[in-house]
A = this chain, B = another copy of it.
Amino acid sequence: MAKNKDNYYVKLANRIYDLDQKALDATGSSLGRVFSGEREKNIKDIVLNITADKQSYTFRAELAAIANMIRTIPEKKTKSALLREYNDILMDIKKKGSGFNSVEIINEQVAGLNATNFSSGKRSKDDHLIICISRSHSSAGSDIGFALADNLKINFYDTDVLKNVMTRMNQEKDLEWLEEKDAVFLRHADRVRKSKSGHLREFSRFHGLPSADAEFFNISKFLCEIAHTEDFVVVGRCADAILANNHIPHVSIYITAPADIRARHLMQTEQISSFRKAMKIIAKTDAKHEAYYHRYTGRIWGYAGNYDLCLNSSSYGIEESVEVIKRIIKDPQD
């Protein structure tokens, strides 16, 4: 370390040590100061922490403790003067790119496709707003999706709507659009086998693909097409993975609630009288979703790290879930 850089850190350490004393003086806190003991030793430790190669949470915690103490100062003028000094110190630590050694976690590939990441600045004004909702069984995720589309006045697609569209499009015609990039899906899909006769019949019909896969690819093709022409909410069908795989920006939201609350919800919607039975149905349906998602994406369904956001519908309810999603998707610049 160069000599003047060294001096810089010693100066910074002294400012931190002094700020701690000033905060103590102004609060008269019975807790005592954060940096107790001999000045020289503390300065040395602070310099070591600022210049450390590894993350120094302890040091950051010490600074936070000083700031917390400052915020309890009753006298406003002293309080704001010390908070200003604290912010200056924080800025200086950040500017030098040293200090807490906080390292960005962002993944450019993932973030580049996140339609609600407004600071990534990669979204074009031509991009359509696409909201993908995955949901656990009986979490009212589908109701939230429908209410959201209705509120935003944009199109709504779920399994039933898509099946409706597919039937009307007479999906048996063509699968020629099946391209190289879709091969990744096939790796996860090649374990499905039908009965021999059914398999043979469907072989010619779907160019060798089982019908479930044909449906998946048709829906995939349809979603990618409409993504270029309209805003929409889509519930289920691995839409998040389909769009990511095709480099189409969107926001992926997983909606769930504690299993017991979902079971009670299911008892109401499906008129089931036994709580145990409702719990069983939920576990079984979730497992089916999980298998479907894993088969076509190779990813773990319901794992928070796979989505941009997760929402607890029992904590927001249908109406406020719509509102919180609207707050999230709104570009603060608009």
Q: Which residues of A approach B to under 8 Å, CB–CB?
A: 31-32, 34, 53-55, 57-58, 60-62, 64-65, 67-68, 71-72, 83, 90, 100-107, 110-111, 114, 116-120, 136, 138-140, 142-143, 146, 149-150, 153-161, 163-165, 168-169, 230, 232, 254, 256-259, 261-262, 265, 268-271, 302, 304-320, 323-324, 327-328, 330, 332
Contacts and interface: CB of A to CB of B under 8 A. Distances in A.
B306 A258 contact: yes
* 3 nearest CB pairs, A to B: A61-B160, A106-B317, A310-B310
Report the copy number of this chain in the oligomer: 2
A28 to B, nearest CB: 14
Contacts of A314: 105-107, 110-111, 305
A164 B114 CA distance: 38
B31 A265 contact: no
A254 B309 CA distance: 10
Contacts of A55: 269-270
A302 B310 CA distance: 11
A256 B107 CA distance: 13
Contacts of A120: 317, 320
A251 to B, nearest CB: 9
A316 B106 contact: yes
Contacts of A65: 161, 164-165
Contacts of A118: 320, 323
Given A265-B103, A269-B55, A60 B146 contact: yes
A302 B164 CA distance: 36
Contacts of A310: 254, 304, 307, 309-310
B315 A157 contact: no
Given A102-B143, A117-B317, A304-B310, 11 more contacts: A67-B155, A68-B157, A103-B265, A105-B140, A106-B313, A107-B261, A120-B317, A308-B315, A309-B310, A327-B327, A328-B328
B157 A103 contact: no
A164 B66 CA distance: 11
Nearest to A319: B119
Contacts of A139: 105, 305
Contacts of A150: 90
Given A60-B160, A312-B305, A320 B258 contact: no
A257 B305 contact: yes
A137 to B, nearest CB: 12
A62 B311 contact: no
A71 B320 contact: no
B161 A117 contact: no
A158 B111 CA distance: 27
A162 B114 CA distance: 35
B67 A156 contact: yes
B312 A307 contact: yes
A165 B31 contact: yes
